[in-house]
A and B are shown apart, each in its own frame.
Chain A
Amino acid sequence: MIWLGIDTSNTPLSVALVEDGQLLIEHTDSFKTTHSVAAMPTIERIMKEAGITPDQLSAIAVAKGPGSYTGIRIGMTLAKTLGWSLNIPVYPVSSLAVLATPGKWFDGLTVSVMDARRQHVFAGVYDKQTVLTEAHRSFADLLEFLHQQERPVLWCGQDAKLFEEAILACGLVSYFAGVGEQLPRASELISLAQKLEPATSIHELTPDYLRLTEAEVNWMKAND
């Protein structure tokens, strides 16, 4: 079994190949290069370096969102098209869960955050490997939720530092993931995928945006 993992949810790009539970190669960067340009060449390169041809792949794991709309669409389109073309299963995995993997044994709550602007975040809250919530919400709302839990918190994701001041001031016992732990890792994405079911229909696979488009929100308001 050879798995290809793809995470293009936000600025970082992570792709990996795992064969029978062993990591063959992984590339993770947080360059500003657009995924539209870099993702496919990077996949091609790691496969070449690992000596693996497309027809040898057995499954694809992809970070399905939330995240940058364009970013998650790039990963999802690559995963869908590769999976369908090669006739192999595609496993969509929460991008927030991938970010939270540094806390999988942490005895407290692990919180992964992505900045969604206007003091809002996409946030996942986990108790070890159990999902408590994954949502688009205001940062203040997230803090209030965490206060109710009264547990120490491990903050994950590069965007956590954007809220450092508020986090340090809020009175929760807080830890921050280290530099190397802040980026999503496609190998961890594959590990998560292996505990899930594959998509029943690759054609119908879509990203989890966790938020409607502004045009749709306005249209719904006007038609309420």
Chain B
Amino acid sequence: MTYILGIETSCDETAASIVKDGTVIVSNVVASQIESHKRFGGVVPEVASRHHVEQITLVIEEALTQAAIEPKELDAVAVTEGPGLVGALLIGIQAAKAFAFAHQLPLIGVHHIAGHIYANALENPMEFPMLALVISGGHTELIVMQEDGHFEKIGETRDDAAGEAYDKVARVLSLPYPGGPHIDRLASESDGAVDFPRVWLEEGSYDFSFSGLKSAVINYQHNLQQKGQEINPSHVAAGFQQSVVDVVVEKTRRAAKKYGVKQVIAAGGVAANKGLRTALETTFAEADVPFYVPSLPLCTDNAAMIAAAGYSKFIAGARSDYAMNGRPGMPLSSWNGL
């Protein structure tokens, strides 16, 4: 049995978790800062870093207590190395180093997106080749995994991440932060939808672009305002969401077909969006390709996913040293070719 302590502080959640053999969650603790950042309408990096320092040892202790595991029973410490907010990342990293040193444990730096993908391993066995749609406030990417620990990014956003576009459109509609769940709810209840453009980019491209859609929403609102008309927030939400969903689902479907994958997974905070999730489920049921989305607590940032990805690296023999730094722009590189 292998027990890994995972630590995640890349944005606004301070999280620690213990995972057995990369597949079984023994404990999963998340201290969210969302209430604190709400007043600013978004995550303020300096405020996030301050909260991480306040929470970090408490959260790790809680993960150990809930798991009823002593530090000496652990096999390694895995921590998010990047990408993310650098000041936030390095709190988790320093804590991981100090914990690893105090208990003389191996240290493993993990890519945050790899974590989101491996969140699936906690609920369903991963089968390769696999296609992962990573969609969150910071990322919109399509990644093909030919085997465990091997990543090939085939598409990504060229401007805003999908979640970022959701937050910006939510602001236009005066919805509270974070806006994604509100748009999702309005869209599901709506009896109509404004027709916004779909951005497909070049033929065959798996990249995304959401800034044009966001501008279209803003222009639509301005136009109506100039005519002295009120916008219907539900119709705007439904139209915006439909545009995002159409493009994301279609590109994911095409990619799954081209790469002949055995499994498709969605990961990241926006994967919790019901409209998107339902459309993906329907599409892949028709295509007869198994499709999985982690349950909500594993879609949003958490440390169990970091421990799960850390396990795969641990087995592959990857180790980090105490000079590990936070890497805000860390590339997703493979670790099975060590």
- Contact with A37, one of B102, B104, B323 (Cβ below 8 angstroms): B323
Q: Would A73 and B91 be within 8 Å (CB), given that A86-B102, A216-B47 are in contact?
A: yes
| Interface residue A81 (Cβ < 8 Å from any Cβ of B) | yes
User: A77 contacts which chain B residues (CB < 8 A)?
Assistant: 53, 56, 90-91, 94-95, 98
Within 89-132 of B, Cβ neighbours of A (below 8 Å) are at: 90-91, 93-95, 97-99, 101-104
Binds B, one of A112-120, A168-176, A203-211: A203-211
Instruction: Report the separation of the CA atoms of residues A69 and B323 in the bound assembly, to the nearest whole angstrom.
Output: 20
Contact A84 B61 (CB under 8 A): yes
**Which one of B38-46, B152-160, B262-270, B290-298 is at the A interface?**
B38-46
Q: Are A40 and B97 in contact (CB under 8 A)?
A: yes
Chain B residues positioned under 8 Å from A78 (CB to CB):
94, 97-98
Closest to B88 in A: A73
Contacts of A69 in B (CB 8 A): 46, 49, 87
Is B137 on the interface with A (CB-CB < 8 A)? no
A34: which of B44, B95, B325 is its contact (CB, 8 Å)? B325
Using Cβ atoms and an 8 Å threshold, which residues of chain B touch A40?
A: 94, 97-98, 101, 322-323
Q: Which residues of B contact A85 (CB under 8 A)?
A: 71, 98-99, 102-103
B-contact 0/1 string along A208-224, CB 8 Å cutoff: 01000111100100000
Residue B50 CB within 8 A of the other chain: yes
Interface flag for B57 (CB, 8 Å):
yes
A215 and B47 contacting across the interface, CB-CB below 8 Å: yes
Which of A54, A84, A216 is B57 in contact with, Cβ under 8 Å?
A84
Q: Are A74 and B90 in contact (CB under 8 A)?
A: yes
A25 at interface, CB cutoff 8 A:
no
Across the interface, which residues of A come within 8 angstroms of B60, CB to CB?
A: 81
Interchain CA distance A37-B326 in the complex, whole Å? 9
Chain A interface size range: 20 to 34
Is B58 in the interface zone, CB < 8 Å from A? yes
The docked-state distance in angstroms from the alpha carbon of A85 to that of B102 is: 6
Check if B321 is an interface residue, CB within 8 A of chain A. yes
Contact of B54 among A36, A39, A206 (CB under 8 A): A206
Interface residues of A in 131-146 (CB under 8 A from B): none
Asked if A41 and B322 make an inter-chain contact with CB atoms under 8 angstroms apart, the answer reads: yes
List the count of A-B residue pairs having beta carbons below 8 Å apart.
Answer: 99
8 Å CB interface, B10-51 against A: 39-40, 44, 46-47, 49-50
Chain A residues closer than 8 Å to B99, beta-carbon distance? 81, 85
A202 within 8 A of B: yes
- Cross-interface CB contact of B326 among A36, A203, A209, cutoff 8 Å: A36
A30: CB under 8 A from chain B? no
List, in ascending order, chain B residues with CB within 8 A of A202's CB: 57
CB distance from B296 to the nearest CB of A (A): 28
Distance between Cα atoms of A77 and B93 in the complex (Å): 9
In the complex, chain A residues whose CB is within 8 Å of the CB of B326 = 36
Q: Are B94 and A213 in contact (CB under 8 A)?
A: no
* A70 close to chain B: CB less than 8 A: yes
| A80 close to B (CB within 8 Å) | yes
* Chain A residue with the shortest CB-CB distance to B44: A215
Candidate in A39, A40, A209, A216 with the most chain B CB atoms within 10 angstroms? A40
| Contact status B57-A80, CB under 8 Å | yes
Since A77-B53, A85-B99 are in contact, a sample of 20 more A-B pairs with Cβ atoms closer than 8 Å, ordered by chain A residue number, is: A37-B323, A37-B324, A41-B321, A43-B101, A70-B49, A73-B53, A73-B91, A76-B53, A77-B90, A77-B91, A77-B98, A81-B95, A81-B99, A203-B58, A206-B54, A209-B50, A214-B46, A215-B40, A215-B46, A219-B39
Chain A to chain B contacts (Cβ below 8 Å), 16 pairs = A38-B323, A54-B101, A54-B104, A69-B87, A73-B50, A74-B94, A77-B98, A78-B98, A80-B56, A81-B94, A82-B98, A84-B57, A85-B98, A85-B102, A86-B102, A214-B46
Q: What 8 pairs across the A-B complex have the smallest Cβ distances?
A: A81-B98, A85-B102, A40-B322, A77-B94, A215-B44, A40-B97, A213-B46, A81-B95
